[in-house]
Amino acid sequence: MSACGGLGNLCLRGESQARRRLGARAGLPSIGPLCLFVLLAPTASAQRTVLRPGWNMFTPQQDIELGKQAAADAEKQLPLCHAPRVDAYLTQLGMRLVEKLPTGGVQYPFEFHCVNDKAINAFALPGGYVFINRGAIEVADNEAQLAAVMAHELSHVALRHGTNQATKAQAAEGVLGIASGILGGSTGGALLSELGAFAAGGVLLRYSRGAESQADVMGTQVLYDSGYDPRAMGQFFEKLEAESKGKNPPEFLSDHPNPEHRVERVEEEIDKLRGVPPNAKRDSAEFEAIKREVLALAVVKRLAPAAAGAAKAPAPPSGNFAAYKANAYALKYPDNWKKYADNNGNNASFAPEGGVVDDSTGHAALAYGLIVTVSQATGDPNDWDALNNATEQAIHDLQKSNPNMKITRQPEHVRLNGQPGLATYLSNDSPLGSQETDWMITTLRPEGLVSFVCVAPQSAYEKYDKTFNGILDSVRFTK
């Protein structure tokens, strides 16, 4: 899916390090949870990596129903190409790949749609509903590279990454109401009603780097088994990296966290598959014809986000506070705000009713509220230099995926529950279409760098300043 603006996308993702993508804006900040998937090391150089879906509270049929509802909403919100020959070609190519996709016997109702968006991106919803931006078709050098993109997305479906992600979040706090949807016997309806189907789909697409690597590996296997040159997977990633030099990264890299040594891992898997198959397919006349047709399509401009004043502002923060206790800290927040927490209990977001909005691309984004994350960092908690270095790295990580984020006031020394801290003011694009203020307070703890990011549109920030200070004054570290 495409990128999001505003710090809020940190909040609905479900991974372990705060990070909003152009579209990572997420739900909970980017987290890097331990993978629940089984990767079995091969016993011989020619044995492929074995991957299996991880723990999942959803059934495959619920994957299908949840994806179907999200896809129907996506079709209403996204500018589709409305090019029957293009969709027919994508369906033919996609089903060729599906024939080699290990779905564990589940019959998914695969669908393939062309999106009239020149951003280089693609996404697949649970159940097999695949959307490919025209930009991905236009930038591909050949059919094998386009097949690589599609095989990667189809692998997310087969490995059930979306609902596995939701399951891990549900295990802790019932993020976005998933608990009532599952335990109440529905098929994720609570998740859909909480944010809207397409936005909920965005929550289901917040993959970890481990999930991305698994999709790369399985996608490479699917390419190989389908007769395509499996090197196309790595070649497409190299193309994306080249595209991003000196400018904002393509949305595929923004929406799909980039694993380390990505190309090398693809090449390693090819070696395990005994190398490139003889007469491996790279291109076709059909692809070249479809690419010409896509290039000739009229460009559809994205709808701009709603103006800052157009959306109804949330109710004022309550003067009464509710308590929240995580593994590493405790705090109090207005009792008319909702809380969203990830599966380790430390990464959490708090927002008023209406504080989480759909941005122009269908992602769920935080416009008003607080994001708390614990990210990897080492150093003496009382060492200001160590804290400064960890904070600089955290801000740098955010700016990589939020290129319009800027520091507006240099870090200042503060105390948080008696602990040395740094307070930094930043500005960023708000999902409401204006600018937002992000007040970031960081402190080093044995668990890592604890970050508290207070978010509100610049025009409304003063109205929330007292509440943000009250929340931070209530912070107590539990270890």
Mean pLDDT per block of 10 residues along the chain (479 residues) reads: 37 31 32 31 60 90 89 86 96 98 95 93 93 95 97 96 76 40 37 46 66 94 97 91 60 52 92 93 97 91 46 88 92 93 74 79 76 89 92 88 85 92 93 90 94 94 94 90
Q: Tell me whether residue 20 is in a domain.
A: no
Question: Has residue 6 been placed in a domain?
Answer: no
Strands (E), 342-379: 348-352, 356-358, 364-366, 369-375
- Give residue 334's domain range: 321-477
CB 10 within 8 A of CB 19: yes
Same domain, 122 and 256: yes
Of 262, 296, 330, the domain-final residue: 296
Domain harbouring 455, CATH code: 3.40.1000.10
Distance (Å, whole) CA 115 – CA 81: 5
Confidence (pLDDT) at 91? 98
Q: Provide the pLDDT for residue 190.
A: 47
**β-strands 10-11, 26-27: how paired?**
parallel
What global pTM score does this model have?
0.57
Residues 6+ apart with CB under 8 A from 279: 227
Same domain assignment for residues 186 and 253: yes
- Give the contacts of 302 (CB within 8 A, at least 6 positions apart): 79, 117, 360, 361
Q: Is residue 419 part of a domain?
A: yes
Q: How many domains does the chain have?
A: 2
Strand, coil or helix: 122: strand
For residues 104 and 249, membership in a common domain is answered with yes
pLDDT at residue 398 in the model: 84
Helix (H, G, I), strand (E, B) or coil at 178: helix
Query: How many whole angstroms separate alpha carbon 409 and alpha carbon 427?
Result: 10
Q: What is the pLDDT of residue 43?
A: 33
Helix (H) or strand (E) holding 424: strand 419-429
350 & 447 share domain: yes
CA distance 296 to 121: 19
pLDDT at position 257: 47
Q: Do 292 and 328 sit in the same domain of this protein?
A: no
Burial of 456 (0-12, 13-18, 19+ CB in 10 A): buried
Distance CA 94, CA 125 (A): 14
Q: Are residues 223 and 336 part of one domain?
A: no
Say yes or no: 278 and 401 in one domain: no
Cβ-Cβ contacts under 8 Å for 21 (sequence gap 6 or more)? 3, 4, 9, 30, 254, 255, 257, 401
CA dist list (Å): 189 to 76, 112, 181, 321, 362: 19, 24, 5, 29, 17
Predicted pLDDT at 128: 96
